[in-house]
């Protein structure tokens, strides 16, 4: 029983599976495409909102150091992802990596979690995008009917038509091809980064040096809580984090970490990359470094323009420009946020469909979803299914209920991937690794500890939701996935042989 649950799928077998004509994705992405994907999904509303919010509540001007600390945690995980993505260039990211190193049940656990996380993330971003666009339309004198403006504040029927439409349009683009998605993303990311750079450069002229005093405000203790909204570490050990001071920087880091979520999505496109051994590490690490630099620059500018105690919670960067007598920048920032969120939504949807596709190809989900489009070579079936479901979710669900993302899943994936690097180094030292994570096992262990620390700072309610979702996942695995697993049913082909496509199974 235990051996079956932790059976691993050989790296060579995973790569051979990608050569089945009916289940093979088209290789069309370059290192630049991957970097654009990474920047596109990481930079969202966080750069316009989270920077000022965390500065006011947790760290003051030292929020810049919090972004650096969070960036370091992500960089540790990124180095592990880079080794796996270049060694196992197969769709599925952490799911595929876990299958090759830790076994089927851990792989299912990660895959099940990522599918939900990306789905909720896509819906949240779509609803957020809808809010920005509706605001811009209102400024132009165009008002949507209340019934089509979303569920928040609606009396009776309410459907967010803008959020649903965005998801459906992006679904169509993803069906038509990953290269088309990359081109659309490149244009949108160029606009988004231009807006961010203009804001940074313009803001430099309005900085008042006195606003940086004190750069690290005096520490303030936070009363320990006893509810499910309290961090798990408080409920377990009675330890409460502090705001401001040196420890406040780390408290802030656990908050701004979520502004970095998304770089791991780049790894889901490994199978569609022309030269994954070279380009995956460049795309993952390059996008992370670019985004960290932009986050730090924006945080320095916003805390220099307005004293951290006066920053607004809802739109700190826009309001900082208003405070300096330049209110038109608020509309400019809203435009940049609205444009930028389209790429976040698209790439989260792309990542989710690739994880779903990989699990289906392995038989853990119905094989019907693992057939690619004969012309576009994209996983059109799961893309359409998930796109429609997420469009409905985004249209009918209030933002207040969507906002609780399963962020714990990303950190859990970081832990699993870091452990997987150590395990695969020992079990398969013969594998060619185009990129090698340095200082193994020390660096992966540090990555695990850093991720666990941030996990402990998450609310206990998040842990409870995670446990419930995992329980549902285990039920699905034992009722369906375990018995339909291709690996479990002896469909694995010896290394070096070509796998024949299934004779119509799941069509």
Question: Rounded to an integer, what distance in angstroms lies between the CA atom of residue 419 and that of residue 429?
Answer: 15
Q: In the beta sheet, which residues pair with residue 113?
A: none
In the three-class reduction of DSSP (H, G, I as helix; E, B as strand; rest coil), residue 145 is classed as: coil
The number of folded domains in the chain is 1
**What is the secondary structure of 413-445 as a DSSP string?**
HHHHHHHHHHHHHHH-TTS--SS--SSTTHHHH
Neighbour count for residue 109 (Cβ, 10 Å): 22
The alpha carbon dihedral of 109, 110, 113, 116 has a sign of negative
pLDDT for 399 equals: 52
> What confidence category does residue 81 fall into, taking pLDDT thresholds of 50, 70 and 90?
very high
Mean pLDDT throughout 444-469? 87
The CATH number of whichever domain residue 427 belongs to comes to 1.20.1740.10
Q: What is the pLDDT of residues 248-268, one digit of tens each?
A: 898 888 778 767 877 778 888
Taking the C-alpha atoms of residue 118 and residue 107, their distance in angstroms, rounded to an integer, is 16
Exposed/middle/buried for residue 170 (C-beta within 10 Å: 0-12, 13-18, 19+): buried
Q: Mean pLDDT check: name the lowest of 16-20, 295-299, 315-319, 356-360.
A: 315-319
Structural domain span for residue 82: 2-484
For residue 491, tell me if it sits in a domain. Answer: no
* Residue 501 lies inside a defined structural domain of this protein: no
**Better pLDDT: 404 or 283:** 283
Contact status, residue 23 vs residue 371, Cβ threshold 8 Å: yes
Residue 364 DSSP symbol: S
Mean pLDDT of 193-219: 91
CB under 8 Å to 391, separation ≥6 — which residues?
A: 126, 163, 164, 165, 167, 168, 171
- Determine, yes or no, domain membership for 229: yes
Task: Yes or no: say if 55 and 259 are a contact pair by the CB < 8 Å rule.
Answer: no
Distance CA 29, CA 282 (A): 12
Please check whether residue 505 lies inside any domain of the structure.
no
pLDDT band at 499 (very low <50, low <70, confident <90, very high): very low
In a domain, residue 111? The reply is: yes
Q: Residue 493: inside a domain, yes or no? A: no
Question: In the predicted model, what is the mean pLDDT of residues 362-389?
Answer: 92
Q: Which residue has the higher pLDDT, 201 or 178?
A: 201
Q: Across-strand partners of 220?
A: 243
Task: Please report whether residue 153 resides in a domain.
Answer: yes
Q: Is 490 inside a domain boundary?
A: no
Residue from 408, 358, 419, 395 nearest 116 by CA:
408
Mean pLDDT computed over 92-100:
90
Residues facing 243 on adjacent strands: 220
Q: What is the C-alpha to C-alpha distance for residues 298 and 386, in angstroms, rounded to an integer? A: 35
Sign of CA dihedral 126, 127, 131, 137: positive
Q: Which of 17-21, 178-182, 220-224 has the highest mean pLDDT?
A: 17-21
């Amino acid at each position: 029983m235990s051996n079956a649950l932790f059976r691993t799928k050989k790296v060579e077998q995973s790569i051979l599976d990608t050569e089945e004509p009916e289940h093979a994705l088209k290789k069309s992405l370059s290192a630049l495409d991957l970097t654009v994907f990474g920047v596109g999904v990481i930079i969202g509303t966080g750069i316009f909102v989270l920077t000022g919010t965390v500065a006011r509540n947790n760290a003051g001007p030292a929020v810049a150091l919090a972004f650096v600390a969070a960036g370091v945690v992500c960089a540790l995980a990124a180095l592990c992802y880079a080794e796996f993505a270049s060694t196992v260039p197969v769709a599925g990211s952490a799911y595929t990596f876990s299958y090759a190193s830790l076994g089927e049940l851990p792989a299912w656990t990660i895959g099940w979690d990522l599918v939900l996380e990306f789905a909720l993330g896509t819906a949240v971003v779509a609803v957020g995008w809808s809010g920005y666009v509706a605001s811009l339309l209102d400024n132009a004198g165009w008002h949507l009917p209340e019934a089509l403006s979303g569920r928040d504040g609606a009396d009776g029927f309410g459907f967010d038509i803008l959020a649903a439409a965005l998801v459906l349009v992006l679904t169509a683009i993803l069906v038509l091809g990953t290269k088309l998605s990359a081109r659309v993303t490149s244009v949108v990311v160029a606009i988004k980064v231009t807006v961010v750079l203009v804001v940074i450069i313009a803001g430099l002229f309005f900085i008042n040096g006195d606003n940086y005093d004190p750069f690290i405000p005096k520490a303030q203790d936070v009363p320990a809580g006893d509810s499910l909204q309290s961090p798990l570490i408080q409920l377990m050990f009675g330890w409460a984090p502090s705001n401001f001071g040196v420890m406040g920087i780390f408290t802030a880091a656990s908050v701004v970490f979520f502004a970095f979520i998304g770089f791991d999505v780049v790894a889901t496109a490994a199978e569609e990359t022309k030269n994954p051994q070279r380009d995956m590490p460049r795309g993952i690490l390059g996008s992370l470094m670019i985004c960290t630099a932009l986050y730090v620059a924006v945080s320095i500018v916003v805390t220099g323009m307005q004293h951290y105690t006066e920053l607004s919670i809802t739109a700190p960067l826009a309001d900082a420009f208003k405070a300096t007598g330049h209110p038109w920048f608020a509309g400019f920032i809203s435009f940049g946020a609205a444009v930028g969120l389209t790429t976040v939504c698209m790439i989260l949807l792309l990542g989710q469909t690739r994880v779903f596709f990989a699990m289906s190809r392995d038989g853990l989900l119905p094989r019907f979803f693992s057939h690619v489009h004969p012309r576009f070579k994209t996983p059109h079936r799961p893309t359409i299914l998930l796109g429609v479901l997420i469009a409905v979710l985004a249209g009918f669900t209030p933002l207040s209920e969507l906002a609780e993302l399963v962020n714990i899943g990303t950190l859990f994936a970081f832990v699993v991937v870091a452990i997987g690097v150590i395990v695969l180094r020992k079990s398969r030292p013969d594998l060619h690794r185009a990129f090698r994570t340095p200082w193994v096992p020390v660096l992966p262990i540090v990555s695990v500890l850093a991720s666990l620390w941030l996990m402990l700072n998450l609310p206990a309610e998040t842990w409870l939701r995670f446990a419930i979702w995992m329980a549902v996942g285990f039920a699905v695995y034992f009722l369906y996935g375990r018995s339909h697993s291709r690996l479990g049913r002896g469909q694995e082909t010896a290394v070096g042989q070509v796998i024949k496509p299934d004779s119509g199974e799941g069509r």
